[in-house]
Amino acid sequence: MGRVWTAALVVIGDEILSGRTQDRNVAQIASWLNVQGIRLAEVRVVADVEAAIVKAVNALRARNDYLFTTGGIGPTHDDITVDAVAVALGVGVVVHPEARAILEAYYADKGGINEGRLRMARVPEGAELIVNRMSGAPGIRIGNLFVMAGVPHITAGMLDALTGTLEGGRPLVSVTIGAFAPESEVAELLRSAEQANDGVSIGSYPFFKQGKVGGNFVVRSEDEALARRVSEGLGRDLEAAGYTVTVGGI
């Protein structure tokens, strides 16, 4: 196996911690990172509080290849991510001329630029923009740090702009099989399959469907052929134990 590239994510927002908003960026960014050959190693959700953001950013950017943040880059008073990231990096905040031009053009027929809108052109000194085709306000890249929107479809546009631009390793491949097998009946079988195969991990995810309990069993590896082989072996073991296996999961 080659080098493993890792990323971390800081989700910024009182609305996530209050339960008002169901986060969707963790799953979205995790899936996108997998395709880039990068593993999401850890996530923290923090409040709209500068000290909390600074602490999380500094802890996670040091020990991962990449660090993403989501949330807090809009025009309102509770959008403090740019200032907090600048504090974390020990740099000032400047108005990025290209961001200003993008926003002036975007708002030309919507009442023009104002103080709130100009806030979205502010970046930590030395940052580049991540162009956002979905709305005016760009994302921000500075060093290994990627500052993204909180609204999931805007984040999606920013990820799209970054696709293929980050160095990564081999994508992690997941092969799933499902069976109406209570995981408590097949735990030993799963454990043996994982222990017998270096370079794979097997996850077990129980469900209750059609009035019956069952599990989806996910074999993960950087080696796709190995993942498929182990999954097929596990499928045969489950069939031998009397369960009907559904490739792709239930």
Q: Which residues bind a copy of itself (CB under 8 A)?
A: 11, 14-24, 26-34, 39-48, 52, 74-78, 107, 110-111, 114-117, 119-120, 151, 172, 174, 182-188, 190-191, 194-195, 201-206, 218, 220
Shortest Å, Cβ 22 to a copy of itself: 5
Shortest Å, Cβ 185 to a copy of itself: 7
CB atoms within 10 A of CB 169: 17
Between 114 and 163, whose beta carbon lies closer to a copy of itself? 114
Shortest Å, Cβ 91 to a copy of itself: 24
Between 145 and 151, whose beta carbon lies closer to a copy of itself? 151
Shortest Å, Cβ 126 to a copy of itself: 25
Between 119 and 141, whose beta carbon lies closer to a copy of itself? 119
Give the whole-angstrom CA distance, residue 22 versus residue 227.
Answer: 32
Between 136 and 142, whose beta carbon lies closer to a copy of itself? 136
Between 71 and 124, whose beta carbon lies closer to a copy of itself? 71
Tell the residue number behind the tokens 């911690």, with chain if given: 17
* Burial of 109: CB neighbours in 10 Å, binned 0-12, 13-18, 19+: exposed
Shortest Å, Cβ 117 to a copy of itself: 4
**CB distance 17 to 52 below 8 Å:** no
Between 52 and 131, whose beta carbon lies closer to a copy of itself? 52
Shortest Å, Cβ 103 to a copy of itself: 9
Instruction: Write out the H or E segment, with its range, that includes residue 102.
Output: helix 97-106
Cα distances (Å, whole numbers) of residue 223 to 1, 6, 164, 201:
8, 17, 20, 11
Q: Where are the alpha helices (DSSP H) in 63-169?
A: 81-89, 97-106, 115-119, 152-162
Residue 249 CA to chain centroid, in angstroms? Answer: 23
The percent helix, strand, coil of the chain (3-state, each to 5) is 35, 25, 35
